[in-house]
Structure 1
Amino acid sequence: MNDTSTQTRTVIVEREIAHPAEKVWRALTQQHLIEEWLMKNDFQPVVGHRFKLRGEWGGVLDCEVLAVELHRKLSYTWDHAHEDAAYDLRSVVTLTLTPTSTGTHLRMEQSGFRPDQTLAYNGARHGWEGFASALETVLARID
């Protein structure tokens, strides 16, 4: 019998973006730009920095920066405390930028969904697609 209680699922959204990695990086790390494509925040691209993401639905995510590799990789915790264990999410978001001949390959990954968190997992799959589209809109607008 396999113990599935320790197995987690990961949401991955990938996009080819027709902008250089430096520009994409700015949109991923500057507070006012993050607010436009993701959520209100007090983010700083410094390992160990604790910050909050505030959703339009009123929810607050507690986050901590885990990794910063300039123009290449950004990783942070994405935790949503909830009294109902099925909604109590402890996850990690990793954004990876890879330069391409036409711009940047962006990989958005959120890992740590427990098997009993189907609703949160499906919500994240839908949410990251929307975030990626919003990010592309922001990138098209900024210099």
Structure 2
Amino acid sequence: MTAAVAAPNEAAVLRLRDIGFDAPRTLLAGYGLTLHHVPDGTPIPGSFWGDDEAGIIGHDVHARGDTPVHSLLHEAGHLIVLPAERRAAVHTNATDSVEEEDATCYLQIVLADALPGVGRDRLMADMDAWGYTFRLGSAKAWFEHDADDARDWLIERDLLPR
């Protein structure tokens, strides 16, 4: 898997304002994370990419209403895959590990099923629209045919939802 971000198709992706903060807040709380609603028009603390992208600091995930759902799940996924001692030290950038990045991409797709009105198919389409790139040409192709290592990494650490 190679995930990179190209020029986003901003109008095409689902945003937090479309689904609300309650379901994502509950989902993240189940992993010991706190979702903070950042007021529109203000910078998002801990955002690696800036603009409307979610931010992470320790056990906290920061997002605005215009934050893409895929961004929220991706950044939260970074915190979820980290051991507690590493999670506490995170500020903005969670990892340089290819294995953790792959696991995060896989996990964000799976977590989308827990959000009403989202689901994995919508999330993968949004990832493609935003500009994630995968060897097989799409998030769905990667997830279904090339992500065994990421899934196995998550299973070994008991990180996939049951």
Which TM-score band (shorter chain)? 0.3 to 0.5
Q: Which has the higher helix share?
A: 2
Highest RCO, 1 vs 2 (Cα 8 Å, sep ≥ 6) = 1
The structure with more radius of gyration: 1
TM-score, normalised to structure 1's length? 0.36
Q: Which has the higher strand share?
A: 1
